[in-house]
Amino acid sequence: MPRIALLQSRAFPTKEESFDHHESLIRRAAAEGANIVVTQELFLTPYFCTVEDPALFDLADALPGPVTDRLGKLAGELGVVIVSSLFEHRGPGLYHNTAAIHDADGSLLGFYRKSHIPQDPGFEEKFYFTPGDSGWPVWETRFGKLGVLVCWDQWYPEAARLMALGGAQLLIYPTAIGWLPEEKEELGVAQHCAWETVQRGHAVANGCYLAAVNRVGIEGDSEFWGRSFVANPYGELVAKASTDQEEILHHDLDFKNVEDFRRIWPFFRDRRIDAYGELTTRWRQ
């Protein structure tokens, strides 16, 4: 039964400090029995998308490159799958919010590039990130079949469904989401409820496990709310982290539950694939 570990952490002054700290967390997670280790979104940097500043593009890394080499070496040494979230410099003026997936032998299985890019006050992501073109890959790792999406992708049932249809037993969402001070008192509880509920719904609708790992701490005006969690195929919260503390959240995944759930609630069987063509239109009138 594979064990997942979600690394709920904070921002650090430099990429080097963040990488060193996260390596220590990965090693600790592995020592505690983890087989799949997941970082928060953009784990090497602060959440820099609070402002539009061309100089911040310098934070990006070429992928594959030294960053993925180091992660691969670590994955192979420890015998763990590592899912990491990175800022990718893909080409001249072309940047992505990218997840890298390393198998337990250290091999780089590939990348998922964030497909849905938000633009809100304090979340100026369209300035930095090109929408991903990697499709909806599912990674067959030593410890299970993984679908990896990133943060704003969490709100789209289509993305979760496509990865589940590709065989994913577990959906993973590296995340950076929090409250703005002017909204927290009135909307904070509702915003967190919506975020957690929609993802638990993805787990139910697709009969799979779902893991979301968020960051903690205050960066600029954003108070990241942590509360990383794992939901089972029934949408039950089987593990949940704190609001404001760095921690490693563990949970043992019984993938037999995925097949058992899909047998008794056969949503894939009963889909009306002949009737959904209008989903590919922008608006239905």
Pair 36, 5: CB distance under 8 Å: yes
Backbone angles phi, psi at 218, to 5 degrees: -105, 125
Distance (Å) of CA 129 to CA 47, 126, 251: 13, 5, 32
Residue tagged active-site, from 145, 151, 196, 223: 151
CA distance 232 to 209: 5
Helix (H) or strand (E) holding 89: strand 81-91
CATH 3.40.50.300 at 3-280, yes or no: no
Per-residue pLDDT tens listing for the chain (285 residues) = 999 999 999 999 999 999 999 999 999 999 999 999 999 999 999 999 999 999 999 999 999 999 999 999 999 999 999 999 999 999 999 999 999 999 999 999 999 999 999 998 889 999 999 999 999 999 999 999 999 999 999 999 999 999 999 999 999 999 999 999 999 999 999 999 999 999 999 999 999 999 999 999 999 889 999 999 999 999 999 999 999 999 999 999 999 999 999 999 999 999 999 999 999 999 987
The active-site residue, picked from 114, 208, 219, 223, is 114
| Domain ranges (residues) in the chain | 3-280
**Known catalytic residue: 114?**
yes
pLDDT of residue 120: 87
pLDDT computed for residue 69 by the predictor: 98
What is the model's pLDDT at position 136? 97
- For residue 44 the two structure tokens come to 């090497």
Question: Is 41 one of the annotated active-site residues of the chain?
Answer: yes
Residue from 266, 36, 250, 42 nearest 140 by CA: 36
